[in-house]
Each structure stands twice: as structure tokens, then as C-alpha cells.
């Protein structure tokens, strides 16, 4: 019913017609309200499903982030250990070079002592030199083996 269809009486609009019009307007408004509520409920349901799906995805991504963080921490620790080992190896290589040079010097000195021993053979000195030579023999042997190892490298 439209307001223009509302019949008027002697002193204005008839009460029954006004009540009918209000009831009709109330019914139309209620129908629109119910449609709107239904649409909102559907949107709320869809949004709740989306929230649940995104929460699950977020949980998975957080676990992956924790795993990635742990991998980065482990890689950082491993790189630090490698740097320490590299420095130790560098130091060890320098020490090996120094040791090699010292061993060569000791070997040269032993050879010189042998020459001196051979040139000076008095009996009293010979015993002392022989004793020193026996003491130097393990050192000379180890020096020779280390020199051979160094040459092999």
C-alpha cells in the first residue's frame, strides 16, 4: 500500500487504514532487515572460515620461520667454527713451516757435529761424542721422517 492509496475520512485518515499501512511498512522493513541480517551472517561465516584458514596458514609459516631461524643460527655457528679452524690451520701451517726450518737447521747441525766427530777422533772425546750421537739418533731419525713427509706434500 502506498501513502497515496491511504483513504481519508471525515477528520483525516481512518485509523484502520493507517494501521494497515504501518503493518505493511513494518512487514517490508522486517523482510529487508532479515535479508540484510542473512547477508551479514553469510559474510561473517565466510570471514570466520577465512580467519580459520589464515590462522592455520600463519601457524605453519611460524613453524617454518622458527625452522629457518634455527638453520640460520646453526649456519652462523658452523661458519664461526670454520673460521676458528681456518685460523688454527693457518697457525698450524705457519708452525709447521717454522718447525720444518728448525728441523732442517738441527739436521744441518747434526751433520756438522758428525763431520767434527770424524775429524777429531781422540779416544777421550770419542766416548762423549758417541754418547751424544746416540742421544741425537732418535731426533735425527724423526727429523728425516718429517723431512720425507714434508717433501711428499
Q: What is the pTM of this model?
A: 0.39
Domain count, the chain: 1
All residues at 6 or more sequence positions from 139 whose CB lies less than 8 Å from its CB, including other chains: 106, 110
Q: Which domain holds residue 119?
A: 3-152
Q: Over its length of 153 residues, how does the chain's per-residue pLDDT go in tens digits?
A: 555 665 666 666 677 778 888 898 899 999 999 999 999 999 999 999 999 999 999 988 888 878 878 888 888 888 888 778 777 766 656 666 666 777 777 777 767 666 666 665 555 555 565 666 666 666 667 666 766 766 665
Residues ≥6 apart with Cβ < 8 Å to 110? 136, 139, 140, 143
Separation of alpha carbons 71 and 79, rounded Å: 12
The secondary element (H helix, E strand) that includes residue 108 is helix 15-119
Amino acid at each position: 500500500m502506498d501513502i497515496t492509496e491511504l483513504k481519508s475520512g471525515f477528520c483525516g485518515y481512518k485509523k484502520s487504514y493507517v494501521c494497515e499501512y504501518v503493518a505493511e511498512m513494518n512487514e517490508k522493513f522486517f523482510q529487508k532487515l532479515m535479508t540484510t541480517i542473512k547477508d551479514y551472517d553469510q559474510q561473517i561465516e565466510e570471514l570466520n572460515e577465512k580467519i580459520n584458514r589464515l590462522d592455520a596458514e600463519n601457524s605453519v609459516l611460524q613453524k617454518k620461520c622458527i625452522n629457518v631461524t634455527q638453520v640460520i643460527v646453526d649456519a652462523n655457528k658452523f661458519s664461526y667454527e670454520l673460521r676458528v679452524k681456518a685460523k688454527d690451520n693457518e697457525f698450524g701451517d705457519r708452525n709447521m713451516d717454522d718447525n720444518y726450518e728448525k728441523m732442517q737447521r738441527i739436521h744441518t747441525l747434526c751433520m756438522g757435529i758428525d763431520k767434527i766427530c770424524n775429524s777429531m777422533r781422540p779416544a777421550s772425546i770419542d766416548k762423549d761424542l758417541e754418547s751424544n750421537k746416540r742421544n741425537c739418533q732418535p731426533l735425527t731419525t724423526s727429523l728425516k721422517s718429517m723431512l720425507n713427509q714434508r717433501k711428499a706434500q
